[in-house]
């Protein structure tokens, strides 16, 4: 079964959520500049999710 459009995004999001929920999370502290903080606030970026996604992509690239 091939799923496209918004349904495909929902399925991928659900799969990612399930994958994340299986891991123990650790707290880390990072340092960002003031202008970066302002941009994050203005754009309502979830920094934790963003960093996790970027790390997952790097891990996937290096493992393949």
Helix H, strand E, coil C: the string for 12-64 is HHHHHHHHHHCCCCCCCCCCCCHHHHHHHHHCCCCHHHHHHHHHHHHHHHHHC
Q: What is the pLDDT of residue 64?
A: 86
Its pTM stands at 0.58
- Looking at residue 61, what is its pLDDT? 94
Is the Cβ–Cβ distance between 23 and 56 less than 8 Å?
A: no
Identify whether the C-beta of residue 37 lies closer than 8 Å to the C-beta of residue 45: no
What pLDDT, in 10s, does the model give residues 34-58?
Answer: 999 999 999 999 999 999 999 999 9
- State the pLDDT at residue 10: 56
Instruction: Scan for tokens 């941009």, then name that residue.
Output: 39
Asked if pLDDT for residue 27 goes beyond 70, the answer is yes
């Amino acid at each position: 079964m091939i799923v496209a459009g918004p349904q495909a995004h929902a399925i991928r999001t659900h799969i990612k959520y399930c994958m994340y929920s299986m891991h123990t999370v650790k707290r880390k502290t990072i340092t960002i500049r003031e202008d970066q903080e302002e941009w994050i606030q203005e754009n309502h970026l979830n920094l934790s999710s963003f960093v996790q996604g970027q790390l997952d992509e790097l891990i996937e690239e290096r493992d393949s």
